[in-house]
Structures are given as structure tokens and as C-alpha cells.
Amino acid sequence: MSTQSASDTLTHSRAGKYLTFFLAGEEYGLEILKVSEIIGMQPITRVPRMPEFVRGVINLRGKVIPITDLRRKFAMAEEESGDSCIIVVQMQGIQTGIVVDRVSEVVAIGDADIEDAPSFGAGIRTEFLLGIGKAGGHVKLLLDIDKVLATGELAALEAARANG
């Protein structure tokens, strides 16, 4: 008889549906259950004294939503395409938008097709990755959206929302 409960098994399973999107030519995925909606780019109001990766806030149907630029967060070159959009997600209880180059598709990825993120050595941060998913002959970097932003950065998002 196993000592592992059903809830333990569920928390360790990474299998599921992922919304995939592109950022600087690489394909990423995030758990579809974390996604509220996908919206087109719209004017973003800058909020003073925010971290560089926080673009500002938008008014989404009467609710102020902070916007995080993943290119800036991951120290990638800035380059906005006509396909750029905002994915509205729930991140540690905070509703926020993330700017991506373009959304791809929703894919189901099984546990057998998800490998742990490789260790690249000192200086390379991979703690925000759930793993590396394989689907449709392509590799997708699966983000743990709750770990993409550190606690202090989440406080900055909350401050942006409150000040917006």
C-alpha cells in the first residue's frame, strides 16, 4: 500500500493543458488553469518607480491590472511585433497581464513528455520552469507562473495595481 496520498500525486503531476506562446523566437507554455483571458495590446499607463519589467497598468473592464513584460523580465531584447498580446493570468492570487510576442495554441502534455529543466550551472536561473515539454515535435519551456516573479516583485505589482 502506498503512503502517498492522491493529493500528493496531483501536486507532483505536471501533465495537463498548456497555453503556448512565443517570446524571442522560443516557445513557452503556461498552465491553462492559470489563464483568465487573452487580450490584444492596448495603451498601458506607466506607474512611476516600478521595476523595469513592469510596463504599467491597464483598465480591464473597470479593474486595474498590472502588466509585466516577460522580455524585460528575462533580459531579452525588446521587440514588439504586430502580433503582441497580453495574457491575463492569476499569479499567487494577483491578477496580472503578461506581454508576449504571440499566442500559439493550447496543447495537452503528458507527464512522460515533460522533463525537468536541465541544470546550467551557476548564474543561470531555471527555478521558474516547471520543466521542458515535448509536443508536436517541438520543445516548449513550461513556466511556473507563480515563480516567475519573486515576492518583492509581486509586491511591486500589487503597488502598481493600487496606484493605478
Q: Domains in the chain and their CATH numbers?
A: 16-163 (2.40.50.180)
Residues 6+ apart with CB under 8 A from 107: 17, 18, 20, 29, 133, 135, 136, 140
Q: Could you give the CA distance from residue 68 to residue 86 in angstroms, rounded to a whole number?
A: 9
Counted residue by residue, the chain has a size of 164
Question: Which helix H or strand E contains 156, and what residues bound it?
Answer: helix 151-163
Q: Which of 37-46, 86-95, 135-144, 155-164 has the highest mean pLDDT?
A: 37-46
Q: 96 near 89, Cβ under 8 Å?
A: yes
Q: Could you give the CA distance from residue 98 to residue 82 in angstroms, rounded to a whole number?
A: 16
Whole-number pLDDT of residue 129 = 87
Q: 99 near 86, Cβ under 8 Å?
A: yes
Residues 93-131: pLDDT tens digits? 788 999 999 999 999 999 999 998 876 554 456 678 889
Across 65-88, average pLDDT: 86
The per-residue pLDDT of the chain, averaged, comes to: 82
* Residue with the larger pLDDT of the pair 101 and 147: 101
pTM of the model: 0.81
Residues 25-58: pLDDT tens digits? 899 999 999 999 999 999 999 988 888 888 999 9
